[in-house]
Amino acid sequence: MDLDLRAITARVEKRLEKVGLKAATASRLAGKRDAIRNLQRAARSETGRRGVSTDTVAALAPVLRTRIAWLLTGEGPEELDEPDTKTVPIVGYVGAGAETFFESGQGPFDYVEAPDGATEDTVAVEIRGTSLGELFDRWLIFYDQRREPVTSDLIGKLCVVGLADERIVVKKLKRGQRKDKYDLLSNTEPPLYDQSVIWAARVKQMVPK
């Protein structure tokens, strides 16, 4: 099939505007870093009427809430059917040591039914293993309202926490011994003392998947 890269890029840009995402963010969520920027560059070049990787288009389509066929050809329905229930994305997994692994920013990995009180910012991570206790394997953690920097209302609360060394953990937040440092506590893991916390978000709900 002879695909028009310029036309595909125009449709990608149309969907970016519809879903309110920046090109870099959509590419990251699709697990295709810089994919849209590369499409835009190629479309502006003399090769702009050559083909495009269908793998890239297939990865972008769900993030842009559209159909692969429409992105490729402009034919058929543009919009995905709305689900019967509101959903939120699973953006990572909680593994050994209560660390959340985002696989270099890939995802969403799946969508799950939104909890009561969910907002547009609500996301989920899935617990893999027994890092938060044996009973919580395969449970979902929901959170939103990332605070950067940490705010005082999160002290003493169970939070999803982003650290300066790029780890993301699920721990109870306490003030550390040093200024602007925090102790991170867990029922099953040794404490992490005087950590540099970049952001934190209170766990809103934990439910079995």
Q: What is the pLDDT of residue 62?
A: 83
Query: Positive or negative CA dihedral for 28, 30, 33, 39?
Result: negative
pLDDT exceeds cutoff 70 at 9? yes
* 195 residue type, one letter: Q
pLDDT exceeds cutoff 50 at 105? no
Q: Model confidence at 119, in pLDDT bands (50, 70, 90)?
A: confident
Q: What's the mean pLDDT when you consider all of the chain?
A: 82
118-136 average pLDDT score: 78
Burial class (CB in 10 A: 0-12, 13-18, 19+), 1: exposed
Architecture of domain 5-73: Orthogonal Bundle (1.10)
- The ranges assigned to domains in the chain are 5-73, 87-208
Architecture of domain 87-208: Ribbon (2.10)
**pTM of model > 0.75:** no
Q: What is the pLDDT of residue 21?
A: 84
51-57 average pLDDT score: 77
Query: 3-state class of 121 per DSSP?
Result: coil
State the Cα–Cα distance between residues 9 and 82, nearest whole angstrom: 24
Q: What is the pLDDT of residue 36?
A: 93
Going from the C-alpha of 71 to that of each of 15, 29, 36, 45, 185, the distances in angstroms are 9, 17, 13, 20, 47
Q: What is the pLDDT of residues 57-68, one digit of tens each?
A: 888 888 888 888
State the Cα–Cα distance between residues 72 and 19, nearest whole angstrom: 18
Report the percentage of the chain scoring pLDDT > 90.
25
State the Cα–Cα distance between residues 161 and 196, nearest whole angstrom: 10
158-179 average pLDDT score: 88
CB 124 within 8 A of CB 142: yes
State the Cα–Cα distance between residues 132 and 139, nearest whole angstrom: 10
